[in-house]
Every structure is written in structure tokens, then in C-alpha cells.
Homo-oligomer: A and B are copies of this chain.
Amino acid sequence: MAVQPGRVGIVGLGLIGGSLGLDLQAQGWTVQGLVHRQITADRAMARRLVGTVSTDPRCLADCDVVILALPIPLLLNPPDELVAALPASAVVTDVGSVKQPVLEAWRQRHPRFVASHPMAGTAQAGVDAGVLNLFRGRPWIATPDAQTDPIALDQVRDLALSVGGHWLTSNASQHDQAVALISHMPVLVSAALLRAVGDERDPEIRQLAMVLASSGFADTSRVGGGNPQLGVAMASTNRDAVLRGLAAYRWSLEQLEDAVLQQNWSQLELELLRTQTLRPDFLRAPGGVSSES
């Protein structure tokens, strides 16, 4: 039995919240937005991200579903007025990229909370970022635990499927470790590359490096040159998994460095053959960039 479009509240109208507003209206939902500032509310209305918008949490009173599309720090420490305004009967879900701390924060705060994470993104952020069809063909993963209301979980699944998401479930800890490996830790790996080149002491080499940097460097450094607050939120809320990922990464890099040190070129070639073979496994999946050659 699919969820019937009813009244959905979206808290936060950035990239994810705004895109959901567009998609869910297209699916027939009545969409109520809740934002912090009036200027954001005005812009959201001008962009028709939602049907109605307010800066007062009480606007959520009649919602059947509420989606918390907030930055992680705010999601983990939600304002009391927001929590108080959530109808007890509503299904409440989030879109955060870490799940264990979110489950811990919300398990006690709402009886019908479902922790979920649509893996969708662009380089854009803010009220101007939302676009139609952001979730189509992308993974949308939920991390239920023993206390999760199974009917609420089904409703979040139906909502995710209705906007084209590829639905998965896992436990929160495994989710957080997987995301540390493919998203949070790579931000630091990539940032360290920019930092290393930026710290080059010979100004002529540094200048030459900037001029000669090509699309390969642009790609490898992309996530390390992204939003600093987002990077800190990932590292601070998923710290254990990020540290575990960094330790695995350091060990992995040392193996390659050792082959170079030992001039063991046949070993290095085997290593690079393996990574060449590994990479397509990460592109073939629903979340991957399958159009690459």
C-alpha cells in the first residue's frame, strides 16, 4: 500500500529540502516549508519550492510527514520549539549523512522517527540550489533499529520511491562506516593534497604547479576544496569512523610508497592494476557515475 500524498512539512529548504519540495509537489503533496529567516521564506515562495512557507514551527501542526532537512549540527541539537511543534502522529524523518548520532538524538524525541539518508548532491547549496528530480536513480538509505515504527518506515520508503530514489536499509553503524570511507574520509584525503601543494616552499615550483595543474588535479582536489562547515560536520559527527578510515588510508598509501621506495615496480604495477580494476565497482552502482568510460 503506497503512501497517499497528504500534507508534508519540510524543515529547511536548502539543496535537499528545496529539491524535495519541488518533487513532492509534483507528486501531489501539499508542501509546507519551515525556514529560519523571512528572506529565505520569500525566496522559497518565489522559486515555488513549497506551497506555503513560514518561520513559525507551529505551521507543522497538520502535517502527516515531516522531513528534517537541516544541517547536521542543528539536526543533532534541534530547537525545543521545533520538537514541540512536531505532531505525535506524524512520520518524522531526516536526510543527514550520519545516522548513528541522529538516531541517538531523535529516538527519544519522537516516537515515529525514521533515520534516512538520500545520497544526492550537487556543488550548490542554499535556497537557490533545489532542483527537480535530484533523487531519481540515487540511493536513499534508511537505518531503522529495533524501536523504529515499521509503518513509519514503510511510509518513508514509499515517499523515497515516489521521487525516484533507490531504496536500501542498513544498520546505522555500518552506514556511517561506509559513508566515512567513500565520502567523509576522502574530503580529508583530498584537502591534504591541496594543502601539500600549497605548502611547497619553492615559489617557482608552487607557481609552476598552479599553471600545470590539469583536470586530473582538479578532480582529485574537488571534495577537499568544498564547504568547510560541511567537512567539519562530517568529521565531528562521524569521528570514530573517519579516524578508522584515515588509519586504513594511511596504511594503504604506505604500501604504495614502499613500492616506490624499494623500486619494486612490478609490485607497484600490480597495485595499480588492482585499483584500476576496483574503481568500476564504485561507478556501476546506482550512486555511481555510470556514464564514465
A residues lining the B interface (CB < 8 Å): 119-121, 123-124, 138-139, 141, 168, 170, 174-175, 177-179, 181-183, 185-200, 202, 204-206, 208-229, 231-232, 235-236, 239, 242-243, 245-246, 248-253, 255-257, 260-261, 263, 265, 268-269, 271-276, 278-289, 292-293
**What number of copies of this chain does the assembly contain?**
2
Q: Is the CB of A198 within 8 A of B275?
A: yes
Q: Is the CB of B193 within 8 A of A189?
A: yes
Q: Given the complex of chains A and B, what is the CA–CA distance between A252 and B120 in angstroms?
A: 29
Q: Is the CB of B220 within 8 A of A190?
A: yes
Q: Given the complex of chains A and B, what is the CA–CA distance between A281 and B246 in angstroms?
A: 27
Q: Is the CB of A274 within 8 A of B195?
A: yes
Q: Beyond the given A181-B200, A221-B282, A236-B263, could you list 20 further A-B residue pairs with CB under 8 A, ordered by the A residue number?
A: A174-B202, A177-B202, A178-B205, A181-B196, A181-B209, A183-B217, A191-B256, A192-B252, A192-B253, A193-B249, A195-B271, A196-B248, A197-B278, A210-B282, A225-B276, A227-B276, A232-B268, A239-B263, A246-B260, A250-B253
Give the most central of A182, A251, A285: most B CB within 10 Å: A182
Q: Given the complex of chains A and B, what is the CA–CA distance between A287 and B211 in angstroms?
A: 6
Contacting residues, chain B, for A209 (C-beta < 8 A): 178, 181-182, 282
- A123, chain B: closest CB distance, angstroms: 6
Q: Given the complex of chains A and B, what is the CA–CA distance between A287 and B217 in angstroms?
A: 10
Q: Is the CB of B260 within 8 A of A170?
A: no
Q: Is the CB of A189 within 8 A of B220?
A: yes
The residue on B at minimum CB distance from A241 is B205
A288: which of B188, B194, B218, B239 is its contact (CB, 8 Å)?
B218
Give the most central of A175, A279, A289, A292: most B CB within 10 Å: A279
The residue on B at minimum CB distance from A198 is B278
A228: which of B121, B187, B196, B272 is its contact (CB, 8 Å)?
B272
Q: Is the CB of A225 within 8 A of B278?
A: yes
Q: Is the CB of A214 within 8 A of B288?
A: yes
Q: Is the CB of B228 within 8 A of A194?
A: no
Q: Is the CB of A168 within 8 A of B211?
A: yes
A196: which of B123, B196, B251 is its contact (CB, 8 Å)?
B251
Q: Is the CB of B220 within 8 A of A275?
A: no
Q: Given the complex of chains A and B, what is the CA–CA distance between A138 and B271 in angstroms?
A: 31
Contacting residues, chain B, for A223 (C-beta < 8 A): 216, 219-220
- A104, chain B: closest CB distance, angstroms: 18
Complex A-B, nearest 6 residue pairs according to Cβ-Cβ distance, in ascending order: A225-B279, A228-B272, A192-B253, A178-B208, A213-B282, A196-B252
